[in-house]
Structure 1
Amino acid sequence: MRINIHRLLMDIDRYAAYGKNEYGGVTRPSFSPADHEVRQLFIEEITEMGMQVTIDGAANIWGRYKGAGKKEGSIVIGSHLDSVPNGGKYDGPLGVLMAKEIVKSLIESNIRLDHDIEIVSFTAEESNDFNLSTFGSRSFVGRITAEMVEGARDLKGARLSDELIKVNGGLDKFGMMKNMHSEKKAFIELHIEQGQRLENANISMAVINSVVGTYRSTVRVLGQSNHSGTTMMNDRKDALTAASEMILAVERYCSDKGNVVGTVGKLTVSPNAANIIPGQIDFILEVRAEKSETIQETVEAIQEVWREIATRREVEIQQEVFLNQKPEVLDQDVVTCLVETAKEMNEPCLILPSMAVHDAAHMASVTKSAMVFVKSIDGKSHCPEEYSHPDDIEKAGNLILHGIINLDHILSEY
């Protein structure tokens, strides 16, 4: 039994039309009109397949294909349907649409597993204006509470609680999610790698056994705004030049470490005028690594350099941590099952950590969770050029298809 790769590719292209922009990419942030449309399409299609649909408080969409009833609970496969601005068509939708294709393959082969099979599309996995990425999975496992959502607003002032109601979620349904935990016996997420490790090894897929931790803080550099013409260079307290040196210090430190990455990807300059020395800079520091100790050591080393820069340039640095997500070790039983399935299929696969945080990392707190990565051409992601070859996608899909069949047989043994 194999997935229908041609049908899957048609699905991917069809879904990519929702939010397609003039640059050839997909702009489909959660709660946008395009997101509303694609959510409705997905619900209609899995309903037509005979699946039982549930929408929880975080507006995650669950579709259930009943099993033979021999074992309680469900094996879940899925990912997310939202996209970054001008993103690609594979990041997220590949995992959701592959889940749909796998269930179709089981239905066409008249196969019902001992467990139920569920597919899920998590809400707002990507970074968004509510500053709550991986929102759906974090809410589902209890890491985001109704109280945290209540005051959340986007840049236009829209309330997240109102947006959830528009897509059949809502704070009044948050309590139901905890009650759903016990029935989820395992979760597997397919995702493009978004890097070049598989391509460099010339291997189609990898089983993911851990997800890096992520630290993010807002940083404010306070200097002194002044006239750009009349203030001599030695008399300046330029916040931008200080921030520039601080950002380069992040790059320099992390470049010397093989297992950590550091990024400043968002920057605001004030007052942002050609004839005024910048007096205030706001940016976000991000550090990712496989171990919490590595993240802490990196942040402390960077801050030590920053203190020296602040003293020398006579600026003030203010910081506030808003994310300190610990690394997540995924389930070894499911990882082993997937690796053994790849051997049975005579398909090579690597075992790798994920350098990006995905929904599977949060699901690991409530069930056995693992991931499969498929090779990304040139490592490109979050851009229109994002691409994975159909042959590689097919191999990864068949791995999950046969992997859940094997997992269904042995899950009660763990």
Structure 2
Amino acid sequence: MQIDAGRVIADLRELAAASGGEHAGAKRLAWSPDWSAAREWLGGKLAELGDRVTVDRDEAGNLWAQLDGDGSTDGFVVVGSHIDAVPSGGWLDGCLGVMAALEVLRTLAAADAPPPVTVRLVDWADEEGARFGRSLVGSSAVAGTLDPDDVRGLLDAQGTTLQDALASVGVDLDAAAGARSRLDGARAYLELHIEQGPVLLDTGRLASAVSGTFGDERYLIGFTGQSAHAGSTPMHLRRDTLAAAATAALEIREVGIRHGGVTTVGSIASSPGVITAIAGASEMMLDLRHLEAEVLATMLAECRAACEDAARTFDCEVAFRRVFGATPTPFHPELVALARRAVDAAGGGDGPPIPSGPLHDATEIGRLVPTVMIFAQSDPPISHTEVEDSSEEALRVAIEAYGATVGGALELVAAGGLEAAR
């Protein structure tokens, strides 16, 4: 199947112009009015496809659009990604996959005959987790791994709870599990994304099939000591939680280096937060990732030990709250091979599939449904920033490869391949 890369890029630029500007920092924070406006824009694009495409929203806030097949094959193929963005994020992260999926539906809707398999587009809700620290909210609800009690009290920077943010757009956190039925009968999931890193640029490849995603553990770690006057409290008597957290953060960095993974302390917030007082309480945000589950577990144990050691050193207490976890997710080998051939045929260069360090909705869905991703080269090789970019050549290659991979997956399913999710 050939899809029009030029139209995908035009849609991306139109969305960027409506979301702040191509390199002005995307304004599509999940559950916000800006995000809702972007979804309305997407809804307008879907409405242009006519009555062959039906659109609705599930209990977790995910947006779905369906184009029925000819009835000859059971199940359906899912295409999509996410339209939400981090604050001041880039113009391609997530929405590249949504616009490519839109073009898949547009191409199929314009064909003389329906496809052999039903195709569903999905725009996953709150992939980024930028407001509340809990990524993949919509896809994890569909995958059955979202426990409302684990996320109920999460707050954004303004003190809004996650459940209140969901409620503001008509989503009930406690009813989100009802979205699980959306995968019943799914035969494949295919997602296009920018790489967000340097591997493809360093090797000169414009695109690549993706072998799978890293596992991830995400914690809030609270240190409790004693606030006291900065001038009258001797150094050896201080119960300084910021000192404990900072000491732990340096050792956590070594854990990532030692095991060939990545460990990140994204924030340390301390109180009372004044220049003349010792920090009596500090909360650390910890994220760690690795491609192997056993190594990830070892890294987590060592990070916890580093925090406990630092707490003892500074006479503090420490508590751990897990806010997110994802096991490493290898993608379906038959679909990975299909994507690799499509990338090569589109001019992206042949090379081994690369793993993804960043999480994606494919991480959740890939545990239940045969899944593959394709990456477009990032240049510069960074993301979650307004300067995020990819060359038009890389975008065209990746989009064309994605269309061909979707077409190949439809043929594979129509021929009886790939088992449906139950």
Instruction: Give me the TM-score of the superposition, normalised by structure 1.
Output: 0.91
- Secondary structure (helix, strand or coil) at the match of 2:279 reads coil
Instruction: Indicate conservation of the 8 Å contact 2:225/2:241, yes or no.
Output: yes
Show the counterpart of 1:39: 39
Instruction: Indicate conservation of the 8 Å contact 1:57/1:172, yes or no.
Output: no
Q: 1:413 aligns with which of 396, 403, 417?
A: 417
Structure 1 letter corresponding to 2:328? P
More moved, 396-405 vs 315-324? 315-324
Aligned-partner Cα distance in 2 for 1:366–1:257? 28
Instruction: Indicate conservation of the 8 Å contact 1:62/1:121, yes or no.
Output: yes
Distance change in 2, residues 1:183/1:265 (3 Å): same
- Secondary structure (helix, strand or coil) at the match of 2:266 reads strand
- Secondary structure (helix, strand or coil) at the match of 1:337 reads helix
More moved, 67-76 vs 51-60? 67-76
Show the counterpart of 1:312: 313
More moved, 341-350 vs 321-330? 341-350
Distance change in 2, residues 1:245/1:162 (3 Å): closer
Show the counterpart of 1:330: 331
Aligned-partner Cα distance in 1 for 2:327–2:226? 37
- Secondary structure (helix, strand or coil) at the match of 1:127 reads coil
Deviations along 1:280-322, one digit per CA (max 9) or x if unpaired, are 2111221111122111211222333444333333333222323
Instruction: Indicate conservation of the 8 Å contact 1:18/1:26, yes or no.
Output: no
Structure 2 letter corresponding to 1:270? S
Query: What percent of counterpart residues are identical?
Result: 27
Q: 2:146 aligns with which of 138, 141, 144?
A: 144
Deviations along 1:183-237, one digit per CA (max 9) or x if unpaired, are 3211101111111111111101121121111112221222332222222333333
More moved, 57-66 vs 304-313? 304-313
Show the counterpart of 1:257: 259
Structure 1 letter corresponding to 2:304? Q
Aligned-partner Cα distance in 1 for 2:191–2:380? 22
Aligned-partner Cα distance in 1 for 2:161–2:306? 39
Aligned-partner Cα distance in 1 for 2:155–2:268? 21
- Secondary structure (helix, strand or coil) at the match of 2:190 reads strand
Show the counterpart of 1:87: 89
- Secondary structure (helix, strand or coil) at the match of 1:119 reads strand
Aligned-partner Cα distance in 1 for 2:233–2:148? 51
Aligned-partner Cα distance in 2 for 1:158–1:148? 16
Aligned-partner Cα distance in 1 for 2:315–2:173? 47
Unaligned 5+ runs, structure 2: none
Aligned ranges for residues 10-409 of structure 1 at < 5 Å?
A: 10-20=10-20, 24-50=24-50, 51-108=53-110, 110=112, 112-144=114-146, 164=166, 167=169, 169-170=171-172, 174=176, 177-258=179-260, 260-345=261-346, 347-349=348-350, 350-409=352-411
Distance change in 2, residues 1:23/1:270 (3 Å): farther
More moved, 272-281 vs 221-230? 221-230
- Secondary structure (helix, strand or coil) at the match of 2:380 reads helix
Alpha-carbon offset, residue 149 of structure 1: 7.5
Distance change in 2, residues 1:342/1:73 (3 Å): same
Instruction: Indicate conservation of the 8 Å contact 2:23/2:388, yes or no.
Output: no
Alpha-carbon offset, residue 24 of structure 1: 1.4
Aligned-partner Cα distance in 2 for 1:235–1:147? 38
The total of aligned residue pairs comes to 413
Alpha-carbon offset, residue 279 of structure 1: 1.9
Aligned-partner Cα distance in 2 for 1:148–1:301? 23
- Secondary structure (helix, strand or coil) at the match of 1:406 reads helix
Aligned-partner Cα distance in 1 for 2:316–2:150? 34
Aligned-partner Cα distance in 2 for 1:62–1:389? 29
Alpha-carbon offset, residue 162 of structure 1: 6.2
Structure 2 letter corresponding to 1:280? A
Aligned-partner Cα distance in 2 for 1:317–1:145? 24
Aligned-partner Cα distance in 2 for 1:243–1:406? 51
Aligned-partner Cα distance in 2 for 1:307–1:163? 34
Instruction: Indicate conservation of the 8 Å contact 1:56/1:173, yes or no.
Output: no
Alpha-carbon offset, residue 111 of structure 1: 6.0
Structure 1 letter corresponding to 2:15? Y
Aligned-partner Cα distance in 2 for 1:228–1:175? 49
Structure 1 letter corresponding to 2:225? G
Structure 1 letter corresponding to 2:27? T
Aligned-partner Cα distance in 1 for 2:343–2:266? 37
Deviations along 1:226-267, one digit per CA (max 9) or x if unpaired, are 222222333333222222111111112312332x10011021
- Secondary structure (helix, strand or coil) at the match of 1:14 reads helix
Instruction: Indicate conservation of the 8 Å contact 2:8/2:100, yes or no.
Output: yes
Aligned-partner Cα distance in 1 for 2:207–2:373? 10
Deviations along 1:133-179, one digit per CA (max 9) or x if unpaired, are 21111111222257777777756565656655664655697565333
Show the counterpart of 1:6: 6
Alpha-carbon offset, residue 5 of structure 1: 3.0
Aligned-partner Cα distance in 2 for 1:188–1:127? 21
Aligned-partner Cα distance in 2 for 1:236–1:175? 47
Alpha-carbon offset, residue 118 of structure 1: 1.8
Aligned-partner Cα distance in 2 for 1:353–1:129? 26
Alpha-carbon offset, residue 46 of structure 1: 0.7
More moved, 199-208 vs 15-24? 15-24
- Secondary structure (helix, strand or coil) at the match of 1:24 reads coil
Aligned-partner Cα distance in 1 for 2:223–2:112? 63
Alpha-carbon offset, residue 85 of structure 1: 0.8
4+ residue runs over 6 A deviation:
146-153
